[in-house]
Amino acid sequence: MDEALNAALCQLGFRPYDFMDRVELGHLPLWTKALHWKFKGEGHSFGLQYFDQLTSDFDAILDTPCCLFIDELMAAYPEAKVILNTRDVEGWHKSMMATVFRFFEGPSWRILRYTDTMAAEVCDFDRALWFYFCNGETGDKAKQAFMEHNNYVRKVVPPERLLEFQPQDGWKPLCRFLNLPEPKTSYPMRNDSGATQAAVEEFWKRCVRRSIMKITMSVIGISAFVYGARWMLRARV
C-alpha cells in the first residue's frame, strides 16, 4: 500500500480508493472476478459501468489490483492522469517479502479462510493476483514482473498523462502534474512496509476475533440443541 501517496492525495482534497477500501466495502470478490476475466477470458468484458459500480464514490485509485488494469482504466476514464511510483525493485521486493508474501501464505490464513468470510475473500483475491502477476513466485520472477509492469505503463500512457514519482520528490512535481497549489506543510512521509504490516496484522486480528465468536456461538448452539433434545426425551418418558 502506498501510504505516502494516499496521505498526499487526501491532503490535496482527493478521496483515494485503496486496497483496504476494497476489503472493507466487500469489493474483493468483484476484483477477483475481474482478474479472471482479464487474464483467463472467463466471463464477460468490463469497462466504465463495471468500474463505476466500484469507484463512483472516489476520485483516485491506488494499489493492487487496479494497477494491473491500466489499459481498461485508461479506456474507461480517458481524461485521467497516471502516477507511477518508481520505487526501486529491491526496496519493493523487500517490502513485499516482509508483508503480503509473508502474511497471506502463512498457515493461519489457510485456516481462517474456512472460518471467516472476509479472510476467504482476501485469500482468494491474493492467490489470483499474484498468480497472474508473477505466477505465484516471490523471488526473481516477482522482481521481473514488477519491472515489466512499470515499463508497460511507460509504454501505454501518453507522456502528458504520466508522472513518474517518488515520495522524496515532494509536492512540487505532484502538484504541478495535478494543476494544484502546493500545501505549506511538508510532503507526508510514511513507512509503507510498516504501515502495510500493521494494517495486515490488525485485519488478521479482526478475522480471528470473528472466527472465535462464530465458533463459540456454534458450540453454544449445539450445546443448547443437545440439552433441549435430552429434556424432550426425558419429558416423553
Is 90 exceeded by the pLDDT of residue 17? Answer: yes
State pLDDT tens for residues 37-58.
888 887 666 788 889 888 989 9
What is the rounded average pLDDT for all residues in the chain? 81
Cell of 23: 476489503
Region of poorest pLDDT, from 78-92, 181-195, 198-212: 198-212
Hey, what CATH topology would domain 3-236 get? Rossmann fold (3.40.50)
pLDDT the model gives residue 235: 45
Region of poorest pLDDT, from 27-31, 50-54, 208-212: 208-212
pLDDT the model gives residue 203: 67
Averaged over 185-197, what is the pLDDT? 71
pTM: 0.78
Q: How confident is the model at residue 229 (pLDDT cuts 50, 70, 90)?
A: very low
Residue ranges of domains in the chain = 3-236
Strand partners, 189: none
More confident residue, 209 or 1: 209
More confident residue, 135 or 1: 135
